[in-house]
Amino acid sequence: MKLGVNSVLFSGYDLQTAIQYIKFSGYDGMELSSIVGMVEHLTDTATEAELAEIRKMVEEAGLDLYCVEAATNILVPENRERTKRVFERAAKLGIPMVTTGSAGKSDDEESTEASIRAIEELAQAASDVGIRYALKLHYGQSIYNTKTALRLMDEVKHPALGLNFDATHVGRVGDDPVAAIESLSDHIIHSHIRDTYMEQLKISAPEFQTAGRGTVPLKEVVDKMVEIDYQGATVLEIIGAKDYALPEVTAIAAESRGYLSRLFEEAKEKREELQC
DSSP state of 157: -
What distance in Å separates the CA atoms of residue 166 and residue 221, rounded to the nearest whole number? 10
User: Residue 190 is which amino acid?
Assistant: H
Q: Are 41 and 65 in contact (CB under 8 A)?
A: no
What distance in Å separates the CA atoms of residue 13 and residue 34, rounded to the nearest whole number? 14
SS3 content of the chain, % helix, strand, coil (to 5): 50, 15, 35
pLDDT tens digit sequence for 144-159: 999 999 999 999 999 9
User: Residue 57 is which amino acid?
Assistant: M
pLDDT of residue 42: 98
The predicted model scores a pTM of: 0.96
- Left (φ > 0), alpha (ψ -120 to 50) or beta: where does 32 sit? beta
Q: Using alpha carbons, list the distances in angstroms from residue 6 to 68, 229, 236.
A: 8, 22, 6
What distance in Å separates the CA atoms of residue 214 and residue 212, rounded to the nearest whole number? 6
pLDDT tens digit sequence for 59-110: 999 999 999 999 999 999 999 999 999 999 999 999 999 999 999 999 999 9
Reported as type and span, the H/E element at residue 127 is helix 109-128
pLDDT tens digit sequence for 25-36: 999 999 999 999
Chain Cα centroid distance, residue 143? 15
Smallest CA-to-CA distance from 135 within 72, 93, 198, 85 is with 72
